[in-house]
Amino acid sequence: MCVPDTLSNEIICSDTVNIYKNFAIHSILCYCKILISQSLIFMGNYKHILFDLDGTITDPMIGITKSVEFALNHLGIDVNDLTDLCPFIGPPLKDSFREFYSLSDDQIEIALAKYRERYSEIGLYENYLYEGMKDILEYLDSSGFKLYLATSKPTVFAERILDHFNLINYFTFIGGSSLDNSRNTKTAVIEHVLQINNITDLSQTIMIGDRKHDIIGAKNVGIDSVGVLYGYGDYDELNLAGATYIVEDIKGLSDLLFS
């Protein structure tokens, strides 16, 4: 039987409609199978899960950008829009000051000191926990996974943030950068976490983060990675960096981990 399509003024036959319906159902079933198989693979393969902090567990936009602005103002640099400073979220600050403002080594040291002056007292708490993240951490911890923090933020700040949000007890180890810049890349931080915790089976280990530095760091040490799009990186950035998995939002991360 054929009927007119009132939107396009074309004739649509019932056989054609059935074909489209069957195709749609098949596509949905295939997608569900992919999600289920990814979750089963994830649950079966990994034991050690490393999390980034900024843009992955919490959204630190206000605290970081205002503290960067404070540092730049001290050097006589004006900032018109805090969102222009969002690229500072995630990567090591030293690299960002050099890349985005072409600061000299001496200026970078001054900027870091001024940044930490504000951030340690105020910016640390201009921060909020992503909705649903605590449930994810609680479930993983209670299910026997070992959770570790691997952040470019100095360890002392990371510990205070996790404590502020009552998350610190979910983590076996808190790994961050060092204030003396001796551990100032994401690769170095991840290596530090693996070494201190004697994690040698890299096939059972995965890194979750929102920026290319998380993905590249994971790749450099030989572990898989999950790129999350609800933070401050985009799909192209994470895909080009070589993320093993990419998820859209907290629900997508939850689905991947344990749906």
Is 135 labeled as catalytic in the residue annotation? no
Range of weakest confidence among 1-10, 82-91, 119-128, 130-139 = 1-10
φ/ψ (deg, to 5) at 255: -60, -45
Q: Is the pLDDT of residue 171 over 80?
A: yes
pLDDT of residue 131: 96
pLDDT reported for residue 40:
44
Question: 5-56, pLDDT tens digit by residue?
Answer: 444 444 445 454 454 445 444 544 444 444 444 444 555 689 999 999 999 9
Q: Is the pLDDT of residue 150 over 90?
A: yes
Query: What residues contact 84, with CB distance under 8 A and at least 6 apart?
Result: none
- Smallest Cα–Cα separation from 112: which of 181, 24, 22? 181
Percent of the chain with pLDDT over 70: 83
- What is the Cα–Cα distance from 252 to 136, expressed in whole angstroms? 11
**Domain chopping of the chain, boundaries:** 1-45, 47-59+129-258, 61-125
Mean pLDDT, rounded, of the chain: 87
d(CA 51, CA 53): 6
Q: What is the pLDDT of residue 22?
A: 53
Confidence of residue 178 (pLDDT cuts 50, 70, 90): confident
CATH architecture of 61-125: Orthogonal Bundle (1.10)
Which class for 7: exposed (0-12), middle (13-18), buried (19 or more C-beta within 10 A)?
exposed
Q: From the candidates 15, 52, 201, 224, which is the catalytic residue?
A: 52
- Mean pLDDT for the stretch of residues 54-75: 97
Domain 47-59+129-258 matching CATH 3.40.50.720: the answer reads no
